[in-house]
Amino acid sequence: MVEAEFSIHNASYADRSRLATLIHFGSYVQQHLDWKSPLDWIGGQPYLLLEKKERLLATLACPPDLPEIAWVRLFAVSSNIKPDYAWRLLWEATLDEISHNGIMQVAALSMQSWFTDILLASKFEQTDNVNILMYENKFAIHEPNMAFDIIRPMMHEDLPFIVDIDNSAFNREWRNSFEALELAFQQSSYTTVAETGDEIIGYQYSTSNGMGGHLARLAVKEAMQRKGIGFLLVQDLLKHYRQLGISHITVNTQQSNIASLALYAKAGFKTTGEKYRVYKYIL
C-alpha cells in the first residue's frame, strides 16, 4: 500500500516534459535497449509515476510489446528519494496492475550494479547474459559457399514475412511485434533479406554511427537454419560496411544461444568481455 504522502498513477502525454527531465537529470536511470525511446512508450501501461506533492520522484515503465511478457523499459529516480525505496513502491503497484492484464512474466536487462541489487531483492532470477561481440573489418572476408545473389534490400512490404520468421526463430521473451520490427526497419541503415524463389528465408537489420556499425537483428526461417543463410547475411553486411570505410561492427547475443555464438565466431567476431545480465520475474 502506498504511503499517504505519495501518489502513484500512470503517465499521460501531459507528463512527457517532466519525464524527459527526469530521464536526463535523474540520479539513477536504467533504460532498456529498445527501438522505442522511453518517452514513446507513454500511453502504454503500466507506466507508473511516483509523486510527492505533485513533484515527480521516480518512474517505472513495463508496457508489453507482445502479450504475456513485459520488459522493464525504464526505471528513473530523482535525487529526492532512494532508488530501492522508489522501486519498492512502484514495483508493488506495477505487480498489482499487470496481474489483471494477462502478463505472466517480467524481464529486465541490467547494465548497472545498483539495478542488479534492486532486481535480486525483488526476487528476480538471472536467466542469461547478453554478450557483446566485435568484428574488426581489417582482414579478408571469406567467401561463403552460397551465392550472394539471394540477398536483396529489405522492403516495407516484406515486414509481415519478417515478423513470421522472427517469431519462429526466437524464444517468446526475445520476439518483436510488427510495430517494433517496423520501427527497426525505419531506423536501420542497412536491411537485407535472403530469398530463394519468392520466399524470404532470413533477414538482418543493422545500424551505423560515427563509432561503427551494429548488427541489431538477424534471424533465419526455422526450416532453413544450419544451411549457411545466417552466415551469408553476416558476410554481406561486413562487405557493405567495409565499402563504407566502417571498420568496427558489434553484435549482441545471448550467452545461451550456442548456435548464434558459433555463427559470429565463424564470421570473425570476438567477445569484448562486456555483457548485460538478463533477469526474469514469474508471476
For 73, counting Cβ atoms within 10 Å of its Cβ (0-12 exposed, 13-18 middle, 19+ buried), the class is buried
Which pLDDT value is given to residue 141? 60
Q: Tell me the three cell numbers of residue 120.
A: 535480486
Longest dimension (CA), the chain: 68
Strands 47-52 and 6-10: antiparallel
Q: Tell me the three cell numbers of residue 273.
A: 568481455
Q: Tell me the three cell numbers of residue 57.
A: 520522484
SS3 67: coil
| 212 and 162 Cβ atoms separated by less than 8 Å | no
| 70 and 98 Cβ atoms separated by less than 8 Å | yes
CA distances from 206 to 26, 185, 189, 215, 232 (A): 30, 9, 6, 4, 14
Round to whole Å and give the CA distance between 159 and 254: 24
| Overall fold of domain 131-276 | Aminopeptidase (3.40.630)
Q: Tell me the three cell numbers of residue 151.
A: 540477398
| N-to-C CA span, the chain | 19
Round to whole Å and give the CA distance between 208 and 187: 10
| Residue range 6-123 in CATH 1.20.1250.20 | no
| 103 and 283 Cβ atoms separated by less than 8 Å | yes
Question: CB 273: neighbour CB atoms within 10 A?
Answer: 7
Q: Tell me the three cell numbers of residue 244.
A: 563504407
Which pLDDT value is given to residue 211? 83
Which pLDDT value is given to residue 82? 97
Domains of the chain by residue range: 6-123, 131-276
Cα 10 off chain centre by: 23
Q: Same topology for domains 6-123 and 131-276, yes or no?
A: yes
Q: Can you give the pLDDT of all 283 residues of the chain as single tens digits?
A: 566 689 999 999 999 999 999 999 999 999 999 999 999 999 999 999 999 998 999 999 999 999 989 999 999 999 999 999 999 999 999 999 998 888 899 999 999 999 999 999 999 999 999 999 999 876 556 666 666 579 999 999 999 999 999 999 998 899 999 999 999 999 999 999 999 988 999 999 999 988 899 999 999 998 898 899 999 999 999 999 998 989 899 999 999 999 999 999 999 999 999 999 999 999 9
